[in-house]
Structure 1
Amino acid sequence: MAIIHRAELSPSKPEILQELLSSRSWGESGELEVIGAYRFDDPEGEVGIECHVVRVGETIYHLPLTYRGTPLEGAEESLVGTMQHSVLGERHIYDGLGDELALDCFRRALEGEQEQAELQIVDAEGAVVEIRPQSVILRREVDVEASEVEDALDSADEDVTFIVARTLGDLDGAVRLVASWDGGEGVVAAL
C-alpha cells in the first residue's frame, strides 16, 4: 500500500513533472496535462515510487519518479529537484529510470511478483481516512505460455532485459505492463 499524506507540496507535482520534461533531451516544453499516476511499494517502505502519465501536445509521456528523504548517492544526473512536503519535510526527487529501486519494481511487476500499490490517504496521526481510487490501472499481459516465461526467467541471470517507456506508443514485448486510464491505454514496460 502507498501511504499518501494530506500535505502541501512546494513545488507542486505538475511543476516537478514540467521541470523533468523541459530539462531532458527527450522531453519538451509546453502545456502539461496530468492524465493520472500509479505507484509501486518500496519493499523497505522508505522511498515513494510514483509513475505519472502526462500529455504535452500530441505526445503522452510516462514519467516514473522516486521521492527520497536523503540524496541518492551517485545519482546526481537523475536528480529532478527537491520538494518541501509539509508532513515529510524535504524530499529529493529523482527520475525513476535512474533509480535502481524503481527499476527493480518494474522488473518484479513484469515477472508477476509485484502489483501496483493501493493508495491509502492518512491523516496527521497516520490513521487511514480514505482509499483513493486508482487513476491509472496496470495489468500484466503475457503473449507466451506462463511456463515458458517462468523457464526463460529462471534460466536468465539477474540482468533480465526489459524496457520502460518514456513515451507511450510503440513499445512491445512477450510480457508487457499496460497502463489504462479514462480514455486511453499504453504499454509502459516490456520484457
Structure 2
Amino acid sequence: MAIIHTATLIPSKIELLSTWLPSQPWFTDGDPTDLVRLGSFRFDDPDGEVGVETLLVASKGAVFQVPLTYRGSPLQGAEASLIGTMEHSVLGQRWAYDAAGDPVYASTLAKAILTGQPQAEQLLDVDGQFKRVPDSVHLQTTGIRRTEVPVVSSAVPETVAGVTTIHTGHFDLVISRQLNLSGGTSGPQILTATWAEQMVPVQLASVSEV
C-alpha cells in the first residue's frame, strides 16, 4: 500500500522531468515543453523506505515510460541515475532517481513480472482520512505465484536504442522507454499495461533469468 500525501512538490515531477528528459537518448521523439502525464502506478517497497512510481508521459504523439524512485537520502553509487531533488512539503527533501539504477525498483518489477505481485494500492491522506485513489494505469502480468525472487543488491542499467536493460546478477530486466502503442509483445515473461486512451495492452517490461 502506498500513502499519498496532500502535499506541494518543488519542483513538480513534470518540471523535474522537463529538464532531465532532453539529455536522454531515447527521448528524441519528444518535446520537454509539452509533456502530458497520462497516468502512473506504484510498487511497494517491502521496507517502506523508498517510493517506487512509474509515470507514463506523452509528448508529440509518443508515450514514454519513466520509472522513478524517491528516497529520503542519496543512494550511494547511483549518482549517474540521479534526476534531481524535490522539496516535499510533508516529507522534506526527496532525491528522485531514474529507477533503472535502483535495486529496489529492480526487485519490485521482477516480483510483478515473475510472481504476479500487483501494483500498490494508493491511499490519499486527507487530514488523517485515507481515500483510495483509482488506478490510472492497469497492469497485466504473465507471472504466477512462485518462490521468492532472489534479493537484488545491485542494478546496472544499459540503454541501447530506446530500451534499457537492468543487469542484477540474478536476472536481466528490459524496460521500454518509448512504448509501442500497437501492442506488439516480445518474450514469455512480460508486464503490459492499459490506460484510458490505450485499450490495447502495451508491453512495459520483460525479464530473463541468467
TM-score bucket of the superposed structures, by smaller chain: 0.7 to 0.9
Equivalent residue for 2:131? 130
Please report how far the alpha carbon of residue 59 of structure 1 lies from its aligned counterpart in structure 2 after TM superposition: 1.6
Which consecutive unaligned segments of at least 5 residues does structure 1 have? none
* Structure 2 counterparts to residues 164-183 of structure 1, below 5 A: 164-169=175-180, 171-183=185-197
Summarize deviations over 1:125-168 as a string: whole Å, max 9, x none: xx3421000111111136xxx69xx69x99xx962233111111
- Cα displacement (A) at 1:20: 2.8
Preserved CA contact (<8 Å) 1:171 1:190: no
- Once the two structures are TM-superposed, the CA of residue 7 in structure 1 deviates from its matched residue by 0.2
Q: Distance in 2 between matches of 1:166 and 1:25?
A: 10
Q: Does 1:64 align with 2:75?
A: no
Q: Which residue of 1 aligns with 2:20?
A: 20
Q: CA contact under 8 A between 1:171 and 1:189: conserved in structure 2? A: no
Q: Provide the C-alpha distance between the structure 1 equivalents of 2:82 and 2:132, rounded to a whole number of angstroms.
A: 30
Deviation at 1:121, TM superposition (A): 0.8
- 1:29 maps to a residue whose letter is D
* Residue of structure 1 in register with 2:10 after alignment: 10
Distance apart, 1:17 and its partner CA: 2.3
CA contact (8 A) 2:66 2:98 kept: yes
Deviates more, 1:171-180 or 1:85-94: 171-180
- CA distance, structure 2, for counterparts of residue 98 and residue 137 of structure 1: 24
Structure 1 Cα separation of the partners of residues 80 and 112 of structure 2? 25
Matches within 5 A, 1:15-164: 15-27=15-27, 28-30=30-32, 31-123=34-126, 127-141=128-142, 159-164=170-175
* More moved, 164-173 vs 175-184: 164-173
For 2:116 and 2:47, how far apart are their aligned partners in 1? 16
Aligned-pair RMSD on alpha carbons?
Answer: 2.3
Deviation at 1:113, TM superposition (A): 5.0
Runs (4+) of structure 1 exceeding 3 A deviation are none
SS across alignment from 1:162: strand
Query: Kindly tell me: are residues 128 and 140 of structure 1, through their superposed partners in 2, closer, same or farther at Cα, counting changes over 3 Å?
Result: farther
Contact 1:139 1:178 in 2 (8 A): yes
Q: Deviations over 1:51-88 (max 9, x none)?
A: 00111112210000000000000101100000000000
Partner of 2:204: 188
Write the distance in 1 (CA, Å) between the matches of 2:116 and 2:192.
Answer: 15
Unaligned runs of 5+ in 2: 151-167
Are the equivalent residues in 1 in contact too, given 2:67–2:98 (CA < 8 A)? yes
Looking at structure 2, the residues matched to 82 and 178 of structure 1 have their Cα atoms a distance apart, in angstroms, of 30
Partner SS, residue 161 of structure 1: strand
SS in structure 1 at match of 2:25? coil
CA contact (8 A) 1:171 1:188 kept: no
CA contact under 8 A between 2:31 and 2:60: conserved in structure 1?
Answer: no
